[in-house]
Amino acid sequence: MRVTYIDDKQLTLNGNEVELNQAVKLSGALRGGFAQSEVKREHDYIVVATFPSIDTSVCDMQVLKLAELSEKYPQFDYASFSVDLPTALQNYADGHKVGDIQLYSDYFDHSTLNGFGVLINELKISARAMFVLDKDNKVVYKQINDQVKAQVDFDSLENKMKELI
């Protein structure tokens, strides 16, 4: 049984943790609309963030830091997945700097979050994580937080991104 924590409360993660070199299908509803679609790709690598809810301070900082990275490293694609409604993601984007991040909602069937193995069973929200996928959507980097309220290690992520350039 795989677990994560919110404070001291232990929660279980659905399914299996995605392995390095495993392909993941990236699909959901892009901010502002409810149509399900696959993530648009232009570059060899995509950085993917998952988080519980866009309107919390830790999630907000995760997106803002990723937006900064999207400006610093334009040779990557960027996407995020949560179970926030697409309209909530659009409202967030209207009032915040999101850089080149494609904000996706996985509210409909949780297929992407389940593919990564980051859906929290008890709450049906995402654990906090960061991934880098290659042109075939195979995982080349993963960071899944044990503590949902803790921020991801952006230094580790950025070091991996530098290696891939």
Residues 160, 93: Cα–Cα separation, whole Å: 27
CB-based burial of residue 42 (10 Å sphere; 0-12 exposed, 13-18 middle, 19+ buried)? exposed
Under 8 Å CB-to-CB from 106, ≥6 apart: which residues? 28, 29, 81, 82, 83, 112, 113, 126
Determine which one of 39, 58, 59, 144 is catalytic.
Answer: 59
Which tokens in the block code for residue 144? 């899944």
Under 8 Å CB-to-CB from 125, ≥6 apart: which residues? 52, 53, 82, 83, 119
114 close to 81: Cβ distance less than 8 angstroms: no
Residues 14, 32: Cα–Cα separation, whole Å: 27
Q: Any catalytic annotation for residue 90?
A: no
> Any idea which residues carry the catalytic annotation?
59
